[in-house]
Chain A
Amino acid sequence: MWLAKSAVTPVVSGEYASRDRSRMAARISFSQYRLEAEIERCRAECQWDKIPTLVEQLVSARIHEDDDYGNLLLAEALLEECLQDNMALLRSSTPLTETDQPKLAKARAHLSAILNRGRLEPRYMNEALLLMAKLQYVQGRYRDAQGMCARAVLDDLTRDEQPLYHLRLLAEACVIKGLSLDHQAVSAASRVRLSERQEECLSCYLRACDAALLYLQELDKTVSVPQKGTKMNLSLGVDFDLGFFQLAALQSAYLSLLHKGHLAQGAHQLRRVLRAVDSRGSQSFRKAAARRLAEVLLSSVSEDSYWDPLSPPPLAWLNREGAAAPKDMLYPSSRPPQRYGTESVFCPQDVVEEAILLLLISESMASGDAVISRAPEHREAREASLQDATSVYDLLSIAMARRGQYAMLSEVHQNGAWLRFKIQCLERAMKFSFNEFHLWYQLGLSLMACGKGAGAVSVLKECSKMRPDDPTVPLLAAKVCIGQLHWLEEGEALAQSVVAMGDRAAELLPRAHLAVGLCRSLRATEATLKASRDEFNRMALESLKRAQELDPQDPQIALYLSLQLALTRQVSVAMEPLQTALSLRGDDLHSLHLLALLFSAQKHHQHALDTLGLALSQHPESFSLLFTKVKLEEVLYGPATALRTCEDMLQLWHSRYDYVRTSDTDESSSLPEPAPLSRKPSGLHLTLPDFQDCETRSQSAASIAASRLEQAMSEVSAISSAHRQGPAHIWATLEHIWLQAGELFMEEGRVKEAQFCAQEAGALFPASHSVLLLRGQLAEMRGLEAEAKTLYDEALTIHPGGYRILLHLGKLLVRMGRVSLGEKVLRDAVQAQSTAHEVWSGLGEALQSQGSSQAPDCFLTALELEASCPIRPFTVIPREL
């Protein structure tokens, strides 16, 4: 009705009825023109607080005859300010009432008056209609809002020469139309109408989204184009806030698709949104959208059904969602926003790649946003940024764990941790919130998963302080302490803290006793004084027995109880818990190995070898088992048979690890990055304990230090660095095989072959004490006693506690006539390893040659020990949680 009137009322300078700019330009003064421009700019940038002043200027300049234009501006400013104040209510679609919102009432009064008088020219009438639609929408009058939208002429807003704020109005109008339809959908009767309506909604949303993106991009161009080096003018709205309807315009399309469960189309729309070139105003929205897309990809798109971001969703999937083609193809946009290029840029080819890329983008924005102010009024904001960070890190964890990238993950978490730590410093209470514990715990776990043991223990200890009732956290730390770090005291303390929880530790209580027992057992092995060793052994046994009482069904506990008994040479008693272990888990590597060792200790070598055969059928690639087999074969069938097994081991080593080595050298020659990092290490880690533990490199602190030294020394030697890149234990295994073969050749008297083996081993670790020991023995065989002594001395410098070195040196000294020095060395050997019968008999011989009366005691001890001596020390069974 009043549209038809199209009365053109606002009179410029009181004379002209038209506000047509070309005609106006000649007449109006420059200051008036500037005023107009300023108003347009404020409406584009949503600077509503400036509008009243501008309207006052407008009135005082008497540009317009009546107040309708000014009232339109005021109504818009009032309405928008009211919306800004009520974001939460808008979000929950709670209608605003005029009684609660005086601004709303004023705005309505203005708008009604304008529409009733109908004196404004069409363009402004159109704007008034849209504002009215918006007002009715927020009041929950959806049908009226829809009617208003229908009366407005949206196409007028899309023309190129239109002011920027019209793009904003267009986006808002479209989304209001769509949302209004959506809110009424229930009342629609027939299914056909319903789906028609849904389709119409969606087309509105899509149009709204494109318009909103374009608006933000255009806004970016007009607002401050900061030159590099110049100070950015903060007042120019650099940090631009999106209003409710702008956010709704951006999000509605994908939200409604995802809401309906149309994942493929929803993901497609999210991708379209994110493909639009970033603008300043869209940053925080993009952060959320990127996270949302990553979430959809990770939770609902599997590898085989993935399609890349530049292609439309697969037809089969679209059909499943009841669509024939992506919606954006059905409703092409007249002015699409600018999108990122597709030429020579990275385009993900895999669901995890895309998710990680999106999360990195999201995180790069999140870390900028993190509020680190301590003011109480920012508390909510702080929590929100923490929640944001949490969800990004959670999704990164899910994505990276699927690819086994724990090392990367730990670094990601570390970065987040530093930022969070600052937040935490501001507010202690945060430390106890769920998120805070969770994020620290995840950091600890990721450090543990990628083998950064020391860091993991420290972080886990912090976590434990935050949540002292959780038994898992300290036990995880204890596991790292025992296995990787060999911090036995620390590990025992951590496990004890769980034991102290008693029943509150529930199912983990027996594991805690096991951990305590293992620590004590390992400390007993390391102890130098007999008294403390016995004490540790006694306490270890106590803990392990307690553990078994609490959980008789745990095969690991039964195994370690048996091992502890074996270590104290209670061979026949050890059989009982071992049988339990084997009945619970018949094919367990360590249990079968221990059984073989126990048989060998009882001198049932054939039984032992049969057991090993069984064990090897289940664990054909266990080098530890094979080394035991070599020893048994040597005893049963002589060195020749054992050497054949050594040969098999070399073969096995090559077939198993050679690809690692070749790929290392290949890649390191062409690329600087270390290849093994990229390889998922778990497969190799699983068998790690098999290798570190032949007796000369048993896990004592001294020998760990020794092997580090070796490694360091070998590193500087001539061997190429590429060669050393594989996990150290792989090379240690190879060295061990060569040394074993060398010993067997020596046994056979084949010095040359033995020397070759020593050479091969030496090429791997030139500064290895085991190699030096073998070379010393070989020198001795050839009668080069002086050279042998030098070699033994060198070996001792590297590994001062090595009892086999001490034994050979001592015996050599005795033979060379330096009996008392030899005796001293042999006594050291006894100190170092009191259960080795060779050492006792060596000492006995030295004492005998001096005519000492103690000699027979030594021989007796040796005899006694030998009676319960396994073919390889029981310590070859790794003691780990």
Chain B
Amino acid sequence: MFAMDQGVVGEWLAEFKTLPEAAVSGYAASLKEKTSLVPALYKVIRENYSDLLEPVCHQLFEFYRSGEPQLQHFTLQFLPELLWSYLSVTSSRDPHCSGCIEALLLGIYNLEIVDRDGQSRALSFTVPSLSKPSVYHEPSTIGSLALTEGALANHGLSRVVYSGPHLQRETFTAQNRFQVLTFLLLCYNAALSYMTALSLQSLCQLGSRVCICGYPRQQLRRYKGISSRMMVSSDFLVQLITGIHYALCNGESDLGSKALEDVLYRAQLELFPEPLLVGNAIRSSQRGAALKSNKEGPRCIQVEITPSASRISRNAVTSMSIRGHRWKRHESLESSVETDAGPPGPVPEISVTVANGDAQRLRPEAQAPGLAEPGPDSRAEVRRQKSLRRLLEDGGPSGRVQH
């Protein structure tokens, strides 16, 4: 660490201490102008043994405790670096030098789990419902097509708690470690829009390293640091991926996509379904975006041609048209077989529970004209449909299906 950096940090330490209460918000705004400060602080955190680490952690905590959003964001930008520092020290089991980082992390955690009155905070959100009018829709125009909505309505949920209430923590233990770290990442993710590129890069590095250290992939990434495997939890990986997703879409596409691959790699090894689910979804949507942008000209905007049923062909059968013509004599162009859907023919014995209570609505589709070809093949098809249907229903442990 250069003397110059030390000077910058020292100045920063001294300045805030003498700051009068009233000047805090102005000071917060002025921090952006100190361009050499942030890199110097990163250096302090990376060098675990620096004498400055303890006062720096202390001051970062003071920033956080001030409640001034800009100061809080200033502290939060170092969170990925702090987490990495903490985790790497923990895995090397060198307990005495991460004390102040631990204290800072626990301090932020304990501040964040309570609201302003010191009551335990539970984060909740409302599950939207298409059956209620919103600023974007009128239930009447949606009609009965909203399959998913039907499924969600069955939950009868409106307000859902997704994190908390959490307990105050005085120390890290093996048991609470990832619960605390996961929550800290949640707080960081909430503030992602305010984070600098440097912080996003640090997050991607954290993601990659935590996931590959000690595994064969470490060689691939040519990372030579810690070589022992670090523990991770499923929720922690989900939060990591959420942050990486933001980085990926906001300027850090290289580091971000590497980090995403690394987290998915680890999630596969750990057989964690949750991060795999989100990570696959992100990867797939990035893939879709890449396909689009490849065709896109370099400069000009490109209008999206939305396919509509009639553009495809006025005669193509869509699920909408089937539902619309449920009771109508319908001659399908695809198969010249005329089918009268009015009095249903042999209705495949399919108990529909995709969306409970939707059985009536769905059944006619199962024998929609033009879908099943007559002949032995269609029999097999119906049987396949049946068994698949059943496996989708899952149900409890009794719903075991043998294939």
Contacts and interface: CB of A to CB of B under 8 A. Distances in A.
A455 B268 contact: no
Contact count band on A: 35 or more
Contact of B355 (A275, A384, A411): A411
B337 interface: no
A672 B395 CA distance: 21
A285 B306 contact: yes
B128 A241 contact: no
Contact of B173 (A244, A251, A298, A620): A620
A274 B137 CA distance: 8
Interface string A428-456: 00000000001001110111110011111
Contacts of A310: 135
Interface residues of B, number: 129
A441 B135 contact: no
A124 interface: no
Given A384-B307, A405-B160, A678-B157, A418 B389 contact: yes
B245 interface: yes
B307 to A, nearest CB: 5
Q: Which residue of A290, A448, A454 has the most chain B CB atoms within 10 A of its CB atom?
A: A454
B152 interface: yes
B148 A363 contact: yes
A370 B280 contact: no
Interface string A667-684: 000001100011110110
B367 to A, nearest CB: 11
B306 A360 contact: no
Given A186-B299, A408-B155, A304 B268 contact: no
A343 to B, nearest CB: 10
Interface in A362-413: 363-365, 367-375, 377-378, 381, 384-385, 387-388, 390-391, 393-398, 401-409, 411-412
Contact of A415 (B147, B314, B393): B147
Interface in B118-133: 125-130, 132-133
A256 B301 contact: yes
A146 B186 CA distance: 50
Contact of A390 (B160, B277, B288): B288
A612 B285 CA distance: 48
B3 interface: no
A475 B272 CA distance: 11
Nearest to B275: A401
Nearest to B245: A299
Nearest to A395: B285
A445 B268 CA distance: 12
B308 A369 contact: yes
Contact of A425 (B157, B217, B323, B384): B384
Please report whether the interface of chain A is mostly helix, strand, loop or mixed according to DSSP.
helix
Interface in A634-680: 659, 672-673, 677-680
Interface in B218-255: 228-229, 231, 233-235, 238, 242, 245-246, 248-250
Interface in A860-881: 881
A239 B309 contact: yes
Interface stretch (B8-16, B40-48, B60-68, B187-195): B187-195
Contacts of B313: 375, 377-378, 381
A680 to B, nearest CB: 6
Nearest to B216: A507
Nearest to B312: A381
Nearest to A415: B147
Interface string B348-365: 000000110000001001
A459 interface: yes
A622 B228 contact: no
Given A303-B190, A364-B145, A445-B277, A678 B133 contact: no
A371 B138 CA distance: 25
B392 A459 contact: yes
Contacts of B231: 585
Nearest to A393: B281
B151 A411 contact: yes
A12 to B, nearest CB: 36
24 contacts: A241-B310, A300-B250, A302-B194, A304-B193, A340-B133, A346-B129, A363-B147, A381-B307, A387-B288, A401-B278, A403-B125, A404-B162, A406-B274, A406-B277, A411-B354, A418-B147, A418-B362, A442-B281, A445-B273, A452-B394, A458-B391, A461-B403, A589-B174, A680-B161
Give me the 3 closest cross-chain CB pairs, A-B, nearest first: A455-B394, A368-B320, A458-B391
Interface of B: 93, 125-130, 132-138, 141-143, 145-152, 154-157, 159-163, 165, 173-175, 179, 189-194, 214-217, 228-229, 231, 233-235, 238, 242, 245-246, 248-250, 268-269, 271, 273-274, 276-278, 280-282, 284-285, 288, 295, 297, 299-320, 322-323, 333-335, 354-355, 362, 365, 368, 370-371, 381, 384-385, 388-389, 391-401, 403
Given A182-B300, A345-B134, A682-B235, 13 more contacts: A179-B300, A252-B303, A300-B246, A349-B126, A361-B136, A368-B319, A373-B318, A398-B245, A401-B281, A406-B274, A408-B151, A411-B151, A455-B392
